[in-house]
Amino acid sequence: MNKNLFVTAILGATTIILGAFGAHALQETLSLQELKSFETGVRYQMYHVLVLLFVNTFKNFTKKSKNVVSMLFFVGILFFSGSIYAITFGVDAKSIWFVTPLGGLILIVGWIFLAIEFLKKKAY
């Protein structure tokens, strides 16, 4: 079993669940700004799920490369989107203010690593 694809599928399913939850259940309880923030977390999660599907089925990447990109994106999603969800559900933003930008930085590192892999493989 490909663990990266399994985790990606679970992340994809949770993206849909959270998106639906935000569109229906949270619309009445969150301010417009809070709802926008929540939607940003969901959107970034889905973008990275789609990239992970591509990365982990792309034949020109080594298993090690797939694992590095996957781990960077998994952790980046957890920190970036996860912190936004946590704040939406009541965690004090001041106590975890650094987690969201750290997650964004990890996602950026993942994209840079991915670009380097494409250049090394000349698979662009």
- What DSSP letter does each residue of 29-58 carry, written as one string? TS-HHHHHHHHHHHHHHHHHHHHHHHHHH-
List, for residues 52-77, the tens digit of each pLDDT value: 999 999 999 999 999 999 999 999 99
The model's pLDDT over 101-110, given as tens digits with 9 standing for 90+, comes to 999 999 999 9
The 10 Å Cβ neighbour count of residue 106 is: 19
Q: For the chain, what is the domain count?
A: 1
> What's the pLDDT score for residue 121?
78
What's the rounded mean pLDDT across residues 22-46? Answer: 94
Residue-wise pLDDT for 7-22, tens only, equals 999 999 999 999 999 9
**Is the whole model's pTM more than 0.75, yes or no?**
yes
Q: Which domain holds residue 84?
A: 3-121
pLDDT of 123 over the 60 cut: no
